[in-house]
């Protein structure tokens, strides 16, 4: 206590207090600047990760878009609505082969404007009376331009209620009239 009563003691205590205050302010400013820098670093990391994730999604879905465009040009899909019994076996075989190559898909199917449905019956069962023309994937395809691929909103799969998304494309016959809609159904759960 005697030390604080002397001028020398007070000056030393004041200098020590100022030094501690200066040290505290410097540390606080340094901490704040590092916190801001660290936050900017996290934002950049998140941006990079999101861009990478988005690029991967584009690659994933682009492959299915290419497959849909290929199917529209192949396998008699453009004529199947006119002679369904002639095209049923070749289409269902093509869909089965596609499903074996891509087991991650729920199904690939084609519905005609007359209500006929083509799908891989070995891997997929549809309820009796199934009318493709009222399903979200089919309705989506009706609003598309030729060659345009549309993505549905998430909707419940008819057999299980699990969430799915569809990529659909409108199919026109050689005269340019609506033949039907071709779709790939993917799980999102």
| pLDDT (0 to 100) of residue 96 | 92
Q: What percent of the chain has pLDDT over 90?
A: 32
Distance CA 73, CA 96 (A): 18
pLDDT of residue 70: 87
User: Is the confidence at residue 47, as pLDDT, over 60?
Assistant: yes
Cβ-based burial of 139 (10 A; exposed 0-12, middle 13-18, buried ≥19)? middle
Whole-number pLDDT of residue 19:
60
Q: Is the model's pLDDT at 72 over the cut of 90?
A: no
The token duo for 46 is 């998140």
* pTM above threshold 0.85: no
Distance CA(174)–CA(16), nearest Å, equals 92
Closest CA to 113 of 85, 98, 134, 128: 134
pLDDT (0 to 100) of residue 97:
92
pLDDT tens, residue by residue, 93-122: 999 999 899 888 999 999 999 999 999 888
Amino acid 168: pLDDT: 96
Q: Which two tokens stand for residue 111?
A: 């519905």
């Amino acid at each position: 206590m005697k030390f604080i009563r002397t001028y020398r003691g007070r000056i030393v205590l004041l200098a020590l207090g100022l030094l501690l205050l200066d040290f505290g302010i410097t540390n606080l400013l340094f901490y704040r600047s590092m916190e801001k820098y660290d936050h900017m670093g996290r934002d950049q990391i998140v941006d990079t990760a999101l861009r990478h994730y988005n690029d991967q999604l584009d690659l994933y879905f682009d492959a299915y878009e290419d497959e849909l465009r290929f199917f529209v040009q192949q396998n008699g899909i453009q004529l199947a609505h006119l002679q369904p019994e002639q095209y049923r076996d070749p289409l269902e075989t093509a869909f089965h082969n596609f499903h074996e190559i891509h087991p991650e898909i729920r199904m690939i199917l084609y519905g005609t404007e007359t209500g006929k449905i083509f799908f891989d019956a070995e891997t997929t069962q549809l309820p009796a009376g199934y009318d493709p023309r009222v399903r979200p994937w089919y309705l989506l395809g009706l609003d598309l331009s030729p060659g345009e691929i549309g993505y549905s909103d998430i909707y419940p799969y008819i057999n299980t209620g699990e969430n799915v998304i569809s990529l659909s494309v409108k199919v026109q016959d050689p005269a340019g009239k609506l033949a039907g809609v071709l779709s790939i159904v993917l799980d999102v759960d």
